[in-house]
């Protein structure tokens, strides 16, 4: 197996970074480089093109930002004239949240330089962005759709770009940004450095690289089926009705201060957040039905520590950089095995240790089998010993439903618990594109579900294939802890 993305290697002091950058890095508390940084920074400093396979959480933002800023510093100037601050580096990302995060990091790294940076993304007023662009910025972070709007309005001129970064390139292609990317790249000078980062090197990504990168150096630090070795992973066999109880018990027993809780549907997300909140846990929900403003507020509250549990769907949480979350709960086993890796990538980042807990219920056999295939490891299920050890099980009559839900939360939650067919309808993770798709407020483009995000056939009615895992679930035998730190 390849090296984990979080293993630290060389010290930043070996890099001879310019003083303003070294100062900023020291202030952020970085001492050693992550593997992607150790490999990419020296290459980018030489001006070569790079094709990097690295996920969010591996330190890739600093891996491209620091050498890029170092090179831009050669022609740094303190003039206030906009003409003296043309766009020299362009960073493209698929979502506004990601763009915002990367822009914030760039600002921190460039804090002690005269280089200016700005971010533009859709769903926000063009005017403030226009004013910033007109003032002149050397580093422009953007989502493709909104950048094209600014190019068309002649607010952004890209004729002097020396560096372009295509970050999360696989996601950009998934969303359908290829035509926009092609147009944007056609405005850039041919003589430039191009850096492409992607979680996978799919044939589409390779085609993109062949068209736009010149003799790139390939850097690979973590495969998408690898999970960080610092994450302690547990899979618990739990009935649907016991999940909230199990969650609360683990949070309490482990003394967990903050956690992400992933669910598969928007409705499930809202319902769970509501009921945890009622039970006195500081909780907020992040899902596709929330307005952009609500999402940013939820995120800010979580980052500020005002909220303990962030209950989220995969689509809403994709790519968010919230570091040092002590734990991730998979309240539902993800529909896509790769989402498991993305989800638990939010804990155990940049060297910190983390806990990932997955609740597996009786109908999840097929999903767990997919997960085992991706991780190339057997998933062993553990039983939970409840502190309050009365018999549990499916809610099968009105009185019991009322009583149990009363113990776990609001009785109304049990009464409006979704039946399987309703669950199917409320799933958010796999939206199908309507004929005339509105602009998705989360991305700045109509959402186009990638082929890989379609639900497997068995979810649409066919019976799940029998699996060894579901046999384990039935037997509820206690098995040794799963593949812990390796």
Binding residues (CB under 6 A) for ligand AMP: these are 30, 33-34, 37, 56-62, 321, 323, 349-350
Over its C-alpha atoms, the chain yields an Rg (Å, rounded) of: 23
What is the distance between the alpha carbons of residues 121 and 181, in angstroms, rounded to a whole number?
14
* Smaller CB separation from ligand AMP, 10 or 76: 10
* Smaller CB separation from ligand AMP, 14 or 79: 14
φ/ψ bin of 45: left (φ > 0), alpha (ψ from -120 to 50), beta (otherwise): alpha
* Smaller CB separation from ligand AMP, 42 or 431: 42
**Sheet of strand 139-142, all strands in order from the earlier edge strand to the far edge:** 117-120, 139-142, 89-92, 163-166, 193-198, 50-53, 217-220
* Smaller CB separation from ligand AMP, 62 or 205: 62
* Smaller CB separation from ligand AMP, 168 or 174: 168
* Smaller CB separation from ligand AMP, 61 or 358: 61
Contact 139, 117 (CB under 8 A): yes
Minimum CB–partner distance for residue 471 and ligand AMP (Å): 39
Minimum CB–partner distance for residue 201 and ligand AMP (Å): 18
Minimum CB–partner distance for residue 392 and ligand AMP (Å): 39
Minimum CB–partner distance for residue 473 and ligand AMP (Å): 35
What is the distance between the alpha carbons of residues 17 and 26, in angstroms, rounded to a whole number?
11
What is the distance, to the nearest Å, from the Cα of residue 353 to the centroid of all Cα atoms in its chain?
18
Minimum CB–partner distance for residue 422 and ligand AMP (Å): 37
CB atoms within 10 A of CB 341: 22
* Smaller CB separation from ligand AMP, 332 or 339: 339
Minimum CB–partner distance for residue 60 and ligand AMP (Å): 5
* Smaller CB separation from ligand AMP, 18 or 414: 18
Minimum CB–partner distance for residue 63 and ligand AMP (Å): 7
Minimum CB–partner distance for residue 198 and ligand AMP (Å): 13
Q: Which of 387, 400, 358 is nearest to 241 (CA)?
A: 400
Minimum CB–partner distance for residue 32 and ligand AMP (Å): 6
* Smaller CB separation from ligand AMP, 350 or 437: 350
279-310 b/e (C-beta count within 10 Å ≥ 16 → b): eebebbbbbbebeeeebeebbeebeeeebbbb
* Smaller CB separation from ligand AMP, 15 or 205: 15
* Smaller CB separation from ligand AMP, 58 or 284: 58
Minimum CB–partner distance for residue 453 and ligand AMP (Å): 23
Minimum CB–partner distance for residue 300 and ligand AMP (Å): 15
Minimum CB–partner distance for residue 285 and ligand AMP (Å): 23
* Smaller CB separation from ligand AMP, 126 or 296: 296
Contact 313, 453 (CB under 8 A): no
């Amino acid at each position: 197996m390849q090296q984990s993305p979080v293993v630290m290697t060389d010290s930043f002091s070996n890099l001879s970074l310019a003083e303003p950058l070294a100062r900023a890095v020291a202030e952020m508390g970085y001492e050693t480089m992550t593997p992607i940084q150790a490999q990419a920074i020296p290459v980018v400093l030489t001006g070569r093109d790079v094709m990097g396979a690295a996920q969010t959480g591996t330190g890739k933002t600093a891996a491209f930002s620091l050498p890029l800023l170092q090179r831009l510093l050669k022609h740094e100037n303190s003039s206030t004239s906009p003409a003296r601050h043309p766009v020299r580096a362009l960073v493209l990302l698929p979502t506004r949240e990601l763009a915002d995060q990367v822009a914030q990091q760039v600002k921190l790294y460039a804090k002690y330089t005269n280089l200016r940076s700005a971010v533009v993304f859709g769903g926000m007023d063009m005017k403030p962005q226009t004013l910033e662009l007109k003032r002149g910025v050397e580093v422009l972070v953007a989502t493709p759709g909104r950048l094209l709007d600014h190019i068309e309005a002649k607010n952004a001129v890209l004729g002097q770009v020396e560096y372009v970064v295509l970050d999360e390139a696989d996601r950009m292609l998934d969303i359908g940004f290829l035509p926009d990317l092609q147009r944007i790249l056609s405005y850039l000078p041919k003589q430039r450095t191009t850096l492409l980062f992607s979680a996978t090197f799919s044939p589409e990504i390779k085609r993109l690289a062949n068209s736009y990168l010149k003799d790139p150096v390939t850097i690979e630090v973590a495969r998408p089926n690898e999970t960080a070795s610092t994450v302690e992973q547990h899979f618990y066999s739990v009935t649907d009705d016991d999940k909230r109880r199990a969650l609360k018990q683990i949070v309490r027993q482990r003394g967990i201060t903050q956690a992400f809780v992933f669910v598969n549907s928007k409705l499930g997300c809202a319902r769970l957040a509501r009921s945890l909140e009622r039970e006195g846990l500081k909780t907020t929900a992040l899902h596709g039905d929330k307005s952009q403003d609500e999402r940013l507020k939820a995120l800010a509250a979580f980052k500020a520590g005002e909220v303990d549990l962030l209950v989220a769907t995969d689509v809403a949480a994709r790519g968010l950089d919230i570091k040092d979350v002590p734990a991730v709960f998979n309240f539902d086993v993800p529909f896509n095995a790769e989402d498991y890796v993305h989800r638990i990538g939010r804990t155990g980042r940049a060297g910190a240790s983390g806990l990932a807990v997955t609740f597996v219920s009786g109908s999840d056999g097929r999903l767990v089998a997919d997960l085992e295939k991706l991780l190339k490891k057997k998933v062993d299920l553990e039983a939970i010993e409840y502190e309050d050890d009365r018999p549990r099980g499916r809610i099968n009559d009105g009185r019991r439903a009322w009583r149990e839900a009363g113990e776990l939360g609001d009785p109304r939650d049990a009464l409006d618990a979704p039946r399987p067919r309703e669950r199917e309808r409320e799933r958010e993770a796999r939206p199908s594109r309507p004929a005339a798709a509105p602009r998705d407020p989360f991305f700045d483009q109509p959402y186009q579900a990638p082929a890989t995000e379609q639900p497997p056939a068995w979810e649409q009615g066919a019976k799940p294939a029998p699996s060894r895992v579901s046999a384990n679930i039935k037997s509820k035998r206690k098995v040794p802890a799963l593949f812990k730190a390796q």
